[in-house]
Amino acid sequence: MELSKEKKLWMLERMLQIRRFEEQVYDCFLKNKIPGFAHLYIGEEAVAVGACANLREDDFITSTHRGHGHLLAKGADPDRAMAEIFGRRTGYCLGRGGTMHIADFSLGILGANGIVGGGLPISVGAGWSAKYRGTDQVTVCFFGDGASNQGAFHESVNLASVWNLPVIFVCENNQFGISVHQSRHQKIKDVAVRAKAYDIPGVIVDGMDVLAVYEACREAVERARQGGGPTIVECKTYRFMGHHVGDPGTVYRDKEEVEAWKEKCPIKCFADKLIAEGVMTAAEFEALDKRVTEQMLAAVKFAEESPWPEPEEAMEGLYV
Ligand SMILES: Cc1ncc(C[n+]2csc(CCOP(=O)(O)OP(=O)(O)O)c2C)c(N)n1
């Protein structure tokens, strides 16, 4: 399906927002401004954006420990997301969740998750809820190749299949679980083949190509909305950085391999394509990049200037 110019530019801008946001997070981590650590999404932007470009505001996503990209792709405000990562009162979870637990139910963002595979059962609950309530909302569940070995993956896909739920399981196959290559943690090469075991469609796409991800997810989302049940969409991708901000990511990967994947940068490739097609000029791309970079610097400023939560609030908002 041919996309409008506006939609293509939206995709480019969202991917750029994620990249520049993550670069700021990295920079702030190095400057010791952020508590704990963070898992960056740099290199994988096309997956979150290609998938979320199919969603309505009232659709749901479940996310992972590497969740900033999912959040921004679903429409989160960079200021509030950054403030949450900084642990500030103005953050999405009042500064209590931090990088791995950001949620905003009003945008259908059911939460990042520090438990690998933790989003999978939640997505099944959201899918079941939509079906029970008789709405046509869908849920996109992001998870990694490592997570596909969890029991929760198999139980979730099985239930989504047998209950015919509107869930799209989007596997971000970046080929590593921390430092362990996929070939050392599972014998299959394609996570999507596991769809066969649950008698649902499984497709494989180039996760560096936002249009390919968009198209595969479009079909899956349409099918789910019309009552056709779940799909596994496996996106072959790569993280350009280490597993988290403290990992240089070089010990267990060849430099050549990393460089070869960087050549496939989803943002550069898509921007080049749009420029070649005449959708935008190189100067317009530069201006967009400048605007987005300034937006992310402003998000850092917002976070830094925001207050910390008060100690007296520590027991508020808890199930006790
Ligand atoms: C249940 C559980 N087991 C182990 C971990 C430690 N852990 C954090 S990230 C990670 C690897 C996850 O790999 P994958 O699902 O492929 O996601 P990626 O980091 O590549 O995005 C592991 C094992 C955890 N957080 N939760």
Radius of gyration of the chain (CA): 19
The closest-lying atom of ligand 1 relative to the alpha carbon of residue 177 is 13
Per-residue confidence (pLDDT) for residue 315, from 0 to 100:
86
Per-residue confidence (pLDDT) for residue 131, from 0 to 100:
98
Per-residue confidence (pLDDT) for residue 24, from 0 to 100:
98
Per-residue confidence (pLDDT) for residue 304, from 0 to 100:
98
Residue 219 falls within a domain, yes or no?
A: yes
Q: What does the chain come to in residues?
A: 320
Residue 320 falls within a domain, yes or no?
A: no
Residue whose CA lies nearest to ligand 1 atom number 7: 116
Per-residue confidence (pLDDT) for residue 55, from 0 to 100:
98
Residue 73 falls within a domain, yes or no?
A: yes
CB 50 within 8 Å of CB 213: yes
86 CA to centre of ligand 1 in angstroms: 22
pTM: 0.98
251 CA to centre of ligand 1 in angstroms: 18
Per-residue confidence (pLDDT) for residue 319, from 0 to 100:
79
Residue 243 falls within a domain, yes or no?
A: yes
Alpha helices (runs of H) in the chain, residue ranges in sequence order: 5-30, 45-52, 68-73, 78-85, 119-133, 151-162, 182-185, 210-225, 255-262, 266-277, 282-305
The closest-lying atom of ligand 1 relative to the alpha carbon of residue 143 is 15
Per-residue confidence (pLDDT) for residue 264, from 0 to 100:
98
- Overall domain count for the chain: 1
Task: Name the residue of 65, 99, 116 to mutate for ligand 1: max ligand atoms within 8 A of Cβ.
Answer: 116
CB-ligand 1 contact for 68 (6 Å cutoff) = no
Q: What is the CATH number of the domain that holds 10?
A: 3.40.50.970
Q: How far is CA 222 from CA 84, 128, 171, in A?
A: 33, 17, 18
Residue whose CA lies nearest to ligand 1 atom number 17: 144
The closest-lying atom of ligand 1 relative to the alpha carbon of residue 172 is 21
Per-residue confidence (pLDDT) for residue 120, from 0 to 100:
98
Tokens read off for 160: 């989504």
Residue 314 falls within a domain, yes or no?
A: no
CB-ligand 1 contact for 176 (6 Å cutoff) = yes
Residue whose CA lies nearest to ligand 1 atom number 5: 116
Tell me the C-alpha distance between 309 and 320, whole Å: 19
Residue 312 falls within a domain, yes or no?
A: no
Per-residue confidence (pLDDT) for residue 176, from 0 to 100:
98
114 CA to centre of ligand 1 in angstroms: 8
185 CA to centre of ligand 1 in angstroms: 12
143 CA to centre of ligand 1 in angstroms: 9
Tell me the C-alpha distance between 304 and 179, whole Å: 33
Residue 76 falls within a domain, yes or no?
A: yes
Residue whose CA lies nearest to ligand 1 atom number 13: 177
User: Tens of pLDDT along the chain (320 residues)?
Assistant: 789 999 999 999 999 999 999 999 999 999 999 988 899 999 999 999 999 999 999 999 999 999 999 999 999 999 999 999 999 999 999 999 999 999 999 999 999 999 999 999 999 999 999 999 999 999 999 999 999 999 999 999 999 999 999 999 999 999 999 999 999 999 999 999 999 999 999 999 999 999 999 999 999 999 999 999 999 999 999 999 999 999 999 899 999 999 999 999 999 999 999 999 999 999 999 999 999 999 999 999 999 999 999 999 888 878 77
Q: For residue 266, what are the contacts with CB-CB under 8 A and spacing of at least 6?
A: 15, 43, 44, 45, 46, 207, 208, 209, 210
Residue 63 falls within a domain, yes or no?
A: yes
- Structural domain of residue 280, as residue ranges? 5-306
CB-ligand 1 contact for 69 (6 Å cutoff) = no
Per-residue confidence (pLDDT) for residue 297, from 0 to 100:
98
